[in-house]
Amino acid sequence: MSDSRDKIYATPQLDIAGFRFDQAVASVFPDMIKRSVPGYETIIAMTGTLAERYVQPNSRCYDLGCSLGASSIAMRHHIQQPGCEIIAVDNSEDMLKQCRAVLQQDQSNSEDSSVESSPTESAPIKHTPVELVCGNIEDIPIVNASMVVLNFTLQFIPLEQRAKLLHKIADGLLPGGVLVLSEKVAFTDQQHHELMIDLHHNFKRANGYSDLEISQKRSALEDVLMPETLEVHRQRLRQAGFSSVDVWFQCFNFASLIALK
Ligand code: GEK
């Protein structure tokens, strides 16, 4: 289904168009993101741990820029509270099509394992439902939320729209609610900035990407993915209405922040 190896930039491309989340990307996405983003699997796993801690009964969780639903699945596996729902939003039909299949597979895996592993309990585990929405996260209302996840999505939103989106999220969160914000980041110290890029490229090389793939992907993402510094993220989150903001994970130029309402 979606476990193929990413070879999108393996051959020379005369004209490198801006990166798009199309069918070709959707079909290799899990492999692409694992081999490209240091700490991705840790961040997804901890998104589940944070759901266990912060999700409130009868509230909503939002996975904004859900791709194939990894964050939604992590939340779904860890939510302990009744009456919740997860709203997973992406503006790529191709990504959502794969996401739907991945979620169905996850649902049937957990129904099977609940029957096998606990023969004394007759009722299967009832997972929190996930509603898939195709749309721009800038246009989606955020209501009655106890957890919002922006795992590597804000970086694709135009710079001038980011504050408005974060204000909307803060307004839609219940008191005590959490935003998990994971991003590729930039650094003001130029030497450090270049070092982090270099170490990230080493990480990609160690994961089997060639120099050609690394450089073509870099060109495709230029003007599409716009990283900002951690200080800009912290300040803007505070201005949006979050009372406590800081980094909980960082590897090279990839970081994840927790912002509490
Ligand atoms: C994960 N969170 O696996 N509205 C809705 N979706 C958008 C928008 C937008 N304006 N802009 C981009 N996207 C996921 C990984 S990937 C990150 C997120 C990456 C979607 C886009 O279609 C893609 O699916 C996702 O955001 C970004 O934890 O590939 O670097």
> How many angstroms does the Cα of residue 257 sit away from the middle of ligand 1?
17
| pTM value surpassing 0.85 | yes
For 23-117+124-260, CATH number out of 3.40.50.150, 1.10.1740.10, 3.30.450.20, 3.30.420.10 equals 3.40.50.150
The protein residue whose alpha carbon is closest to atom 21 in ligand 1 is 65
State in Å: Cα 120 to ligand 1 middle: 41
pLDDT on residue 14: 58
90 touches ligand 1 (CB under 6 Å): yes
- Atom in ligand 1 nearest the alpha carbon of residue 67: 24
Tens-digit pLDDT profile for residues 41-65? 999 999 999 999 999 999 999 999 9
- Give domain limits for the chain: 23-117+124-260
Residue 26 CB less than 6 A away from ligand 1 = no
DSSP 161: G
φ, ψ dihedrals at 26, nearest 5°: -55, -35
CA-151 nearest atom, ligand 1: 2
pLDDT band at 124 (very low <50, low <70, confident <90, very high): very low
- Residue 183 C-alpha to ligand 1 middle, in angstroms? 11
- Rg (the chain; Cα; Å): 19
Q: Are 220 and 18 in contact (CB under 8 A)?
A: yes
